[in-house]
Chain A
């Protein structure tokens, strides 16, 4: 009993490890296949059975970036970058003070305020779509990237307030009090005491807000046209088949997903806390 049981557990542990590896590979396979197909010529991309060993080329990427005479994706990529970065910045500017007032020096009934923010996130965007569209039309803001900035800020603000509240709450009150007693003023306390502890969390919050803004389709699709279209809207141009275009679709999907993959892996450690609105640590 003393030797066989642990050994059996170890052996089963390693075979379960194999199962885990297999599951990981199965889940990753579509992405790996997308990457491989993006490097094939269109003729090799559309064979059945699939050709795993066809020669590699960058033609799919050249096609996507407009050498084939199609519309260039650069304006859309730039619009997405502006909308995502500026809205993330606005979210941080609004959420940081709010989170401070909900954690370090909490207002009365601070949990109620926190849950108000959360409840706005749970109302579906599609219900507010029409009035926003009518407002934008009357205000001349249709097809304007700054309208998306405002909408994305409101979309991400509740998540950011929740996340930052949970990160700022990790700063020990005693340390802040000690600094105050030592005569440190508020800016100094924020810069020297709060920031070092909360900075990784703030960075993760920013990355997650960036991801959600970058991914957004519904508002961008309805509220933008040729001028302010974002990268996901550009991708909707590939919904209907256009003959042999698999390599191009794969190249496009990969290029547009790259910033999100990078941001997601950078935020990996705090991803759960952010996605669960700080409810899970």
Chain B
């Protein structure tokens, strides 16, 4: 059957190809266009608008007083103590959460990389925190774990005669960070576990036969191999945590010095109706993200090229 149909179908294809190379190029591109146009309209145009608005003095309550102010909003954002503090909070929150969850995630991935009874169950237990809706997770930490009177943490401390601190008032930022580390450690663990399992087992066996200790194997073979995966986890985690709104909004409502940039942007236009200021702060968030993104894209593209060349 193939012998008879093949010549019949190849002939017309060749006939179509010659007159319209340009048409064919567009036919190849066509499936891509809806997605591309959609993305440009929905994500790029608002950014341009944000950029434009950021140069205007514009309070939504006094729309008639709107006028062009140049870089005034930026000057105000960068000199405002509260806003500057929120920049610092964002950096602190992101760095602390990403580093802590990377270290914990690495430890858990190393534990899970070995075979033991019930490994699948433990993996499932560990992934679960990542699969709780962020607002729900924040509520859980705020009311059920941190509550000084009947929260689980103080309850367990009470039963061993420990102190009863008010976690949210004493160390609000740490409290937000702990809840985020709980949610993001599974994410890091999954990425690092995939990295561990893509190691060259023969190389490790060879090193072991040559008398290398577990620590030496980890230090000189595993860690260098994991570097890319650590970078990837760290950067993807940073991208999500720089943008975090849910935890800050729910656990402390931005109070007690925990307001990060996304929360501040939200507040300055949702509650203070300062459109120009909010936009300037938004543009600053974008600039910060572009810096992270540049590194992130480099890491992803090097991993990606590796995969493509391997395939």
- Residues in chain A within 8 A of chain B (CB atoms): 13-14, 16-17, 19-21, 23-25, 27-28, 30-31, 33-34, 37, 45-50, 94-95, 97-98, 100-102, 105, 107-108, 111, 113, 115-135, 150-151, 153-154, 157-158, 161, 166, 169, 181-183, 211, 214-215, 217-218, 221-222, 231-232, 235-236, 238-239, 241, 245-246, 249-250, 252-254, 256-257, 260-261, 263-265, 268, 271-272, 275-281
Contact = CB atoms under 8 A, between A and B. Distances in A.
B144 A124 contact: no
Contacts of A27: 125-126, 128-129, 182, 185-186
B293 A122 contact: yes
Nearest to B185: A27
A24 B6 CA distance: 58
User: Considering the complex of A and B, which 7 residue pairs feature the smallest CB-CB distances, nearest first?
Assistant: A17-B116, A97-B31, A128-B46, A253-B136, A131-B49, A264-B131, A24-B125
Residue in A13, A150, A279 with the greatest tally of chain B CB atoms within 10 Å: A279
Contacts of A254: 136
B266 A222 contact: yes
Please report whether the interface of chain B is mostly helix, strand, loop or mixed according to DSSP. helix
Given A124-B243, A127-B285, A150-B42, A261 B232 contact: no
Contacts of A268: 124, 127
Interface in B123-162: 123-137, 139-145, 149-150, 152, 154-156, 158-159
Given A134-B275, A238-B139, A245-B143, 17 more contacts: A17-B117, A21-B116, A23-B126, A24-B121, A97-B30, A98-B32, A116-B36, A124-B282, A124-B285, A128-B49, A131-B45, A169-B311, A181-B10, A236-B249, A249-B139, A272-B194, A279-B307
Interface in B95-139: 107-108, 111-112, 114-119, 121-137, 139
Nearest to B252: A239
A249 B144 contact: yes
B278 interface: yes
A119 B126 CA distance: 30
Interface stretch (B81-89, B215-223, B294-302): B294-302
Contact of B35 (A16, A107, A157, A246): A157
B150 A235 contact: no
Interface of B: 2, 5-6, 8-10, 25, 28-32, 34-36, 38-39, 42-47, 49-50, 53, 107-108, 111-112, 114-119, 121-137, 139-145, 149-150, 152, 154-156, 158-159, 182, 185-187, 190-191, 193-195, 198, 229, 232, 236, 239, 242-243, 245-246, 249-250, 253, 261-262, 265-266, 269-270, 275, 278-279, 282-283, 285-286, 289-290, 292-293, 296-297, 300-301, 303-304, 307, 311
Given A124-B243, A277-B300, A232 B135 contact: yes
A131 B46 contact: yes
A123 B47 contact: yes
A123 B125 CA distance: 32
Nearest to A115: B297
Residue in B42, B132, B150 with the greatest tally of chain A CB atoms within 10 Å: B132
Contacts of A50: 150, 152, 155-156, 159
A126 B126 contact: no
A151 B42 CA distance: 7
B133 A260 contact: yes
Contacts of B44: 120
B250 to A, nearest CB: 6
A97 B150 contact: no
Contacts of B50: 127-128, 130-131
A130 B150 CA distance: 40
B136 A235 contact: yes
B182 A236 contact: no
Given A16-B114, A98-B32, A249-B143, A48 B149 contact: yes
B250 A236 contact: yes
Contacts of B232: 276, 279-280
Given A24-B125, A49-B156, A279-B303, A239 B250 contact: yes
Contacts of B112: 20
A48 B155 contact: yes
B39 A117 contact: yes
Residue in B9, B135, B156, B236 with the greatest tally of chain A CB atoms within 10 Å: B135
Nearest to B301: A115
A235 B300 contact: no
A94 to B, nearest CB: 4
A263 B130 CA distance: 12
B6 A181 contact: yes
A154 B43 contact: yes
Residue in A111, A130, A265 with the greatest tally of chain B CB atoms within 10 Å: A130
Contacts of A214: 133
B124 to A, nearest CB: 7
Nearest to B13: A180
A183 B296 contact: no
B139 A131 contact: no
Given A131-B49, A261-B128, A20 B245 contact: no
A108 B150 CA distance: 62
